Amino acid sequence: MNKNWIVFGLSNGLHYAKEIAKRVGIELGEVSVSKFADGELLVKPKVPVRGKDVLIVQSTSTPVNDNLMELLIAIDALKRASAQSIIAVIPYYGYGRQDRKAKGREPITCKLVADFIMKAGATKVILIDIHSEQTQGFFDVPVDTLTAASILINEYTKRNGCEKNFCIVAPDYGAVKKARNISEYLDVQLAIVDKRRPKPNVVEVSNILGDVRGKDCLLIDDMIDTGGTVLSSAKLLKEAGSKKVIIMATHGLFSNNAIEKFYKALDDNIVDELYVTDTIIENMSIKHKKIIVIDLSIFLSEIIEAQIKHTSVSKIYDKYWNNVCNIKKISKK
């Protein structure tokens, strides 16, 4: 066991922290979270952290503000307890979509939250599939941005193989670069959903760029919120002649009863499978034969181990991508 490292899991991160402690061989620290009568939070580590390198895991998903404050207070407590370093592992980064001024007088809350995390005392931050890469620049401490695409596709190919009709679909123009990189790496075709905003808060999905007829289409995005746009895209792909539509998203928020919409779309075969991860802890309780919730704790443990041992993170990704490619080669024979 590495005695100088310790990991804490807060309300939305304990399942990851337990697995990291077990797989990496570091101490799992207990933390006390309580509330005063007026709702104020008190977060306190139950074990000494003086001079230690500390990992603290928390997704700042619903309830966003409570989970964010829990993380900030925990970091402050660890700093004041003389931790040597504090790495904040944030699988889902709340407020990540407010990353620019889209209209006058709007805040850039993504930057504000980054400032809070640094001011609290984090010396490094690890994020998974942030909404936009510019978020890294909002921090003045090192930031590692991870992506779960290789894990999602790896799980799909293990279940379904990877035939010649396999193609990657970008849900909008902003996702084209990521989708193109995946399609080129796997040597499969790329298609793009033409998504427009004719007026504020209205999204119109009108066209598919690329030939999807007879293909299994993997529609890959960083998150699903209300699900309206991605379900419209799935319907359009089916109308364009796709054989199957498989939706993949790292963060399944499923706001405003979105999960019921997906149940219906899956039952009506508009969507054939839905893959999400457990960065949103509530997803672990989803029970539907066509919804696959992927546990990222092993992946995160491998990343943390690489951090501690100062080894290559790229080799971890290569392992997952190579596994996809090997399945692909086998299925094409």
Relative to beta strand 5-9, strand 53-57 is parallel
Return the pLDDT at 333: 39
**288 with 317: CB under 8 angstroms?**
no
Return the pLDDT at 290: 97
Return the pLDDT at 330: 45
Which tens digit of pLDDT belongs to each residue from 197-219?
665 556 677 789 999 999 999 99
Output 113-116 pairs: Cβ under 8 A, ≥24 positions apart. 113/60, 113/68, 114/138, 114/139, 116/68, 116/72
**Domain boundaries of the chain, sorted by first residue:** 5-146, 149-295+312-332
Q: Of 3.40.50.2020, 3.40.640.10, 3.60.150.10, 1.10.260.40, which CATH number belongs to 5-146? A: 3.40.50.2020
What is the C-alpha separation between 302 and 98, in angstroms, rounded?
30
Average pLDDT over residues 153-160: 89
What is the C-alpha separation between 283 and 276, in angstroms, rounded?
8
Catalytically active residues, by annotation: 195
Same fold across 5-146 and 149-295+312-332: yes
Which tens digit of pLDDT belongs to each residue from 81-117?
999 999 999 999 999 999 999 889 999 999 999 999 9
Query: Which of 35, 18, 118, 36 has the alpha carbon at shortest distance from 76?
Result: 118
Q: Which fold has domain 149-295+312-332?
A: Rossmann fold (3.40.50)
Choice between 11 and 165, residue whose per-residue pLDDT is larger: 11
Return the pLDDT at 317: 93
Residue 138, both tokens: 């909002």
